[in-house]
């Protein structure tokens, strides 16, 4: 029986629904995403090739009986070739995937602005100008960072992780099983900190919108503030909202920063198990170095994949606020019979209209 409450289940469904809606904006650029994924596969394959070549180099350096300059130079050249392929694959995959992420955010900003042009004046009367500015700029900026990171890590890092896992199992099946036992432990802190990050991110974005609103109201009503001597009151309002933003951001920083020490500790624990196993089985030096290098290489994609959940939490919190604007219905529309003006309208005047202001046959409008 699942221990997940209905409220938690509903919240998770809403989070993924928001991110799926955000991800749909990338469909027009699917070809670039696929190209980035192919380059990511090339990057992952070159990582495995690097470790194979590294094992060959160590086998000839530390084994006097196997010394052969031609074979040693061959593996050194192979090492350099795989390093070159890895660099090209990483550059290309990062470029194409982050291009899509930044383009998605650009399209989202344009859509929000265009939608604002269609909303009635009643909406702007009820909404705070500073909050609308914050949603269009700050929230989309957070989405830009999160989406680019999520797309890059979600497409490239699973291939790298799979290549490294395949290599360690090929090298030593039993030792790989021992090392893999520790990876499920990483899921617990990711789940715990992910919830905190989403909550604090949403609160921080709301506090940031409040701060922008206070700034906008203060600058727009500068004459009123000076006339009534409200400078100290305004300073207090702004300091309070600025401190609220700071406190929420620091809570997010603490939650994100706690991930690295946990992942490092788990990695060092796994490395310690490898050393104990190598001493017990009298493992060869080249195999030990290759396995340790593979575990170190495993750490980076595992860390990035573990952060995907947190990045999704952050982008979902910001995207929710953006979609609230986009989902606002358009209540005032032009009638199908509306005729555009032949020339730009410079003024509007009512002529020959008797009082009270009821339209009569003699009442006309001229521009």
Using the predicted structure, report yes or no on whether residue 110 has a pLDDT greater than 60: yes
Give pLDDT tens digits for 255-277. Answer: 777 777 776 777 677 777 777 87
Give alpha helix (H) positions in 119-182: 121-126, 129-134, 140-171, 173-180
Domain boundaries, the chain: 18-328
Give the whole-angstrom CA distance, residue 256 versus residue 100.
25
CATH code of domain 18-328? 1.20.1560.10
- Going by pLDDT thresholds of 50, 70 and 90, the confidence category of residue 9 is low
Across 295-302, average pLDDT: 76
Region class of 66: left (phi > 0), else alpha (psi between -120 and 50), else beta: alpha
> What pLDDT shows up at residue 91?
92
Among 53, 116, 114, 46, residue whose Cα is nearest residue 83: 46
> What pLDDT shows up at residue 364?
47
Using the predicted structure, report yes or no on whether residue 355 has a pLDDT greater than 70: no
- What average pLDDT does the chain have? 77
3-state helix, strand, coil in the chain (%, to 5): 80, 0, 15
Give the whole-angstrom CA distance, residue 134 versus residue 136.
5
Give the whole-angstrom CA distance, residue 146 versus residue 168.
31
Using the predicted structure, report yes or no on whether residue 49 has a pLDDT greater than 60: yes
By the 8 A CB rule, do 296 and 179 touch?
no
Share of the chain above pLDDT 70, in %: 81
Please report, to the nearest 10 degrees, the dihedral formed by the alpha carbons of residues 27, 31, 36, 37 taken in order.
80
Among 300, 296, 293, residue whose Cα is nearest residue 51: 293
> What pLDDT shows up at residue 187?
62
Give the whole-angstrom CA distance, residue 336 versus residue 332.
13
The secondary structure of residue 354, as a DSSP letter, is P
Using the predicted structure, report yes or no on whether residue 357 has a pLDDT greater than 70: no
Contacts of 173 (CB under 8 A, 6+ apart): none
Contacts of 19 (CB under 8 A, 6+ apart): 312, 315, 316, 319
Give the whole-angstrom CA distance, residue 43 versus residue 156.
8
> What pLDDT shows up at residue 198?
65
pTM of structure:
0.64
How many CB atoms neighbour CB 363 within 10 A? 13
């Amino acid at each position: 029986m699942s221990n997940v409450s209905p409220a938690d289940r509903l919240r998770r469904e809403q989070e993924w629904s928001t991110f799926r809606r955000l991800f749909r904006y990338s469909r027009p650029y699917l070809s670039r995403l696929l190209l980035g994924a192919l380059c990511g596969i090339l990057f992952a394959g070159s990582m495995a090739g690097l470790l194979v070549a590294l094992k060959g180099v160590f086998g000839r350096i530390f084994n006097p009986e196997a010394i052969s300059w031609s074979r040693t130079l061959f593996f050194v050249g192979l090492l350099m070739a795989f390093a070159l392929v890895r660099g090209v694959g990483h550059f290309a995959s990062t470029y194409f995937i982050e291009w899509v992420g930044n383009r998605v955010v650009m399209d989202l900003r344009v859509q929000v602005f265009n939608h604002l042009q269609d909303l009635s004046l009643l909406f702007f009367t009820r909404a705070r100008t500073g909050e609308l500015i914050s949603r269009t700029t700050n929230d989309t900026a957070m989405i830009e960072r999160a989406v680019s990171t999520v797309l890059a890590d979600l497409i490239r890092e699973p291939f790298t992780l799979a290549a490294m896992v395949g290599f360690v199992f090929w090298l030593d099946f039993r030792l790989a099983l021992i090392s893999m036992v520790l990876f499920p432990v990483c899921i617990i802190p990711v789940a715990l900190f992910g919830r905190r990050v989403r909550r604090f991110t949403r609160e921080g974005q709301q506090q940031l919108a409040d701060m922008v609103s206070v700034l906008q109201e203060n600058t727009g009503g500068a004459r009123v503030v000076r006339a009534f001597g409200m400078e100290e009151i305004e300073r207090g309002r702004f300091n309070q909202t600025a401190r609220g933003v700071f406190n929420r951001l620091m809570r997010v920083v603490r939650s994100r920063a706690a991930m690295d020490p946990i992942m490092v500790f788990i990695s060092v624990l796994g490395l310690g198990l490898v050393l104990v196993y190598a001493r017990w089985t009298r493992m060869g030096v080249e195999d030990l170095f290759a396995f340790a290098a593979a575990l170190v290489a495993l750490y980076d994609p595992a860390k990035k994949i573990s952060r995907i959940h947190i990045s999704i939490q952050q982008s979902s919190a910001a995207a929710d606020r953006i979609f609230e604007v986009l989902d606002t219905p358009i209540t005032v529309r032009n009638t199908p019979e509306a005729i555009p003006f032949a020339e730009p309208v410079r003024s509007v005047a009512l002529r020959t209209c008797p009082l009270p202001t009821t339209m009569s046959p003699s009442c006309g409008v001229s521009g």
